[in-house]
Structure 1
Amino acid sequence: MVVRLDAAALARVRLAPSPATEAMEWLAYTAGGLPHPLYGDPGPTARFALRDPDVRLVAVLFAASPPKSIPDLLTPKPAAVPADRVFAQQLERMAATSAEAVMAQLAAATHGADPRLRAAAESGTFARRAANGMARFWAAAMADDWPGLRARIDADLARRARTMAAGGIGALIDSLHAKTRWANGRIEIDKPYTETYELNGDELVLSPSVLAWPNLFSQLGNPDDSVLMYPAVGGPDAAGPSSLDRLVGATRARLLISLDRPSTTTELSRRHGLAAATVSHHLAVLRDAGLVAKYRDGRSVRYQRTDTGDALTGEHVDRRLA
């Protein structure tokens, strides 16, 4: 995927948190009955919120299986408003989504045939009910925990701001995720399909997400609602090895930390007293998550942390500037 930005669009790129994205992710884990890889079980309060009919309507999107795509209306671009107004503004934009846009987005998510979603879409009530549902889910399951999540998001924003100050917009884009890079004056994103988006004077928001970790989401179909949602790193609850253990598992955390220098499977096996097959398995998981990359060095294959892996261990090195 390629995103081309003209000079006016490049000047409008900004960083901003998206409370709606955090709420959508937490609702997805709740509806799917799955634990979050970092924060675990959403808990009884989140599940109790599903009793609300409007919350339950949105949860239909996630209850059976992951949707092919997330309807953009659930994650509106955060506006440049005071921090305490961002979520309210997102809910207002959510509720104002046109009936035509609702139908198209639900169809793209491959859940348009569900009778509950179809009935709400055809009656023109889905957007309003989705906004009500997200507001009620937030109040029941998110509001009390938002200060802690926001602290981690703010830590990520500070880290990205330093990266951009030192190396410019290209260094910032390169730092977001293993799948993003700045090349030839454009953003390139590794996707299993080819698509080109043009932003001509349009604003692009780069939004860190704690609960979407380790995924990268692009929302580029509507130039007025363009967002790249990337996994946040850093913050007080992610600074030490114990947090990393919880996130990726104790053994993988040890391997990831030790990859401050390129190493082979054999070297890692000896260093950690693990079977080579065990090391290979864990490296494959870390590589799939975009935390580790491998390359050939003569007859050897060496592994090293990616920028995302560096950032996750709290030892981010901007290789673009090195």
Structure 2
Amino acid sequence: MVQVGRAQGGTVDIEFTAEDMARTRFAVSPLWEVVASVRVLKGGDDQGMHRRWAEHVRPLLAAERLDLTPLSRLIAVPAECVPSFLVPPPTTPQPSLAVELAALRATPPELLRTTTPGVEACVGELRADPGRELGRLADLISAYWEIAIAPFWPRMQALFEGDILHRAIHLAEGGARRLFDDFGPQVTWDSGTLQLIRRSSRGTKRLDGRGLLLVPSAFAWPRIFSNLGSGAWQPTLRYPPRGIGTLWEHGPRPCSDALAGVLGRSRALLLAELTHPASTTELARRLGLSAGGVSQHLTALRAAGLVSAHRTGRVVLYARTSVGEALVGVR
């Protein structure tokens, strides 16, 4: 069962060995975003972070007459738990939804279980005929993805990859303590132990050499969801990425006239927009420029030492250098 961590509650101490630290990794999960976003639509966004997205998506789902009941009844709100079998941790850094749905369809019957109140009967129906019911569930998720998530996925993926890059740099600079020091008040690191505040449980968990999987998630905000059981899957934390507040924003960010006078308006806007690492495609979408034009500007900014390029999988992310950061502060 995937449980939620909040700023109040019991503390779970996650003990790391050297092998656990060596096996700690990052991944993104399209399937998790589907499930977490349905939770938002069910009322799991009490602070309104995703209101703009929800207002856009709800009419589209209604127009398509997509019945989310088979999926939504597996997601209990306000009970803040998600059945583990529904969101198995990804085994590769950037799996496609198709890959994750194939794993869902192949879930062994013995893993179809939950202790979430009100959900046991739904899981019982899945266990009665897992081949058929899991297939229907996967088809529903695929249809929902095309309407509600796919149009926004490049934006979300850029946010996730930028966060992973940021935290990888922290890990290289200062080890595990530096890696975990800005996950928020739910998470602290102390002497080889990661302390996670959870609403309903406390105690000590050992990773047993499996390491910890860290999954940035847009729709988890402001919570941290954890699956620390000793079952078939790697222990996992799903957490809100840096910059989540900008995810649904529209329009370019302002830049100073002084900077535009030196670099030109488009290049100054690009530099100002790089508050977080982003791809050429994402920057072009945000600023209303052509991808080719953005690429040329980024090449010039990189040659001048104002931005750096970092490849993550198939995507190249651009980030401001220290010189670029200093220039953006010019007013």
TM-score, normalized by the shorter chain, greater than 0.5: yes
Q: 2:128 aligns with which of 100, 122, 128?
A: 122
Matched with 1:202 is 210
Please report how far the alpha carbon of residue 48 of structure 1 lies from its aligned counterpart in structure 2 after TM superposition. 5.0
Q: 1:38 aligns with which of 49, 53, 64?
A: 49
Q: Distance in 2 between matches of 1:10 and 1:32?
A: 36
Matched with 2:31 is 20
Please report how far the alpha carbon of residue 226 of structure 1 lies from its aligned counterpart in structure 2 after TM superposition. 1.7
Worse-superposed segment, 164-173 or 129-138 = 129-138
Q: C-alpha deviations, 1:231-264, integer Å up to 9, x for none?
A: 1112793699x99xxxxxxxxxxxxxxxxxxxxx
Q: C-alpha deviations, 1:50-77, integer Å up to 9, x for none?
A: 634xx42011134x73335201122221
Q: Do the aligned residues in 2 keep the contact of 1:151 with 1:235 (CA within 8 Å)?
A: no
Paired positions, count = 234
Q: C-alpha deviations, 1:122-158, integer Å up to 9, x for none?
A: 2334433333322221122111110111111122112
Please report the TM-score for the alignment, with normalisation by the length of structure 1: 0.64
Q: Do the aligned residues in 2 keep the contact of 1:29 with 1:36 (CA within 8 Å)?
A: no
Q: Are residue 95 (structure 1) and residue 105 (structure 2) matched?
A: yes
Query: Does 1 or 2 have the higher relative contact order (CA < 8 Å, sep 6+)?
Result: 2
Q: Are residue 60 (structure 1) and residue 65 (structure 2) matched?
A: no
- Indicate how the Cα distance of structure 1 residues 200 and 34 shifts in structure 2: closer, same or farther if over 3 A, else same: closer
Please report how far the alpha carbon of residue 200 of structure 1 lies from its aligned counterpart in structure 2 after TM superposition. 2.1
Q: C-alpha deviations, 1:24-61, integer Å up to 9, x for none?
A: 11112224496872231242223456634xx4201113
Gaps of 5+ in 1: 244-314, 316-322
Q: 1:140 aligns with which of 147, 163, 182?
A: 147
Q: Distance in 2 between matches of 1:33 and 1:7?
A: 37
Matched with 2:263 is none
Q: Do the aligned residues in 1 keep the contact of 2:66 with 2:144 (CA within 8 Å)?
A: no
Please report how far the alpha carbon of residue 207 of structure 1 lies from its aligned counterpart in structure 2 after TM superposition. 0.8
Q: Distance in 2 between matches of 1:14 and 1:24?
A: 22
**Percent sequence identity over aligned pairs:** 26
Partner amino acid for 2:70?
L
Partner amino acid for 1:37?
G
Matched with 1:165 is 172
Q: Do the aligned residues in 2 keep the contact of 1:202 with 1:223 (CA within 8 Å)?
A: no
Tell me the secondary structure at the aligned position of residue 176 of structure 1: coil
> Which protein has the bigger helix share?
1
Q: Distance in 2 between matches of 1:239 and 1:157?
A: 19
Q: Do the aligned residues in 2 keep the contact of 1:58 with 1:130 (CA within 8 Å)?
A: yes
Please report how far the alpha carbon of residue 174 of structure 1 lies from its aligned counterpart in structure 2 after TM superposition. 2.4
Name the Cα RMSD after superposition. Answer: 3.0
Gaps of 5+ in 2: 1-11, 253-324, 326-331
Summarize the alignment of residues 147-162 of structure 1 with structure 2, pairs less than 5 Å apart: 147-162=154-169
Q: Distance in 2 between matches of 1:49 and 1:113?
A: 29
Please report the TM-score for the alignment, with normalisation by the length of structure 2: 0.62
Partner amino acid for 1:60?
R
Q: Do the aligned residues in 2 keep the contact of 1:14 with 1:205 (CA within 8 Å)?
A: yes
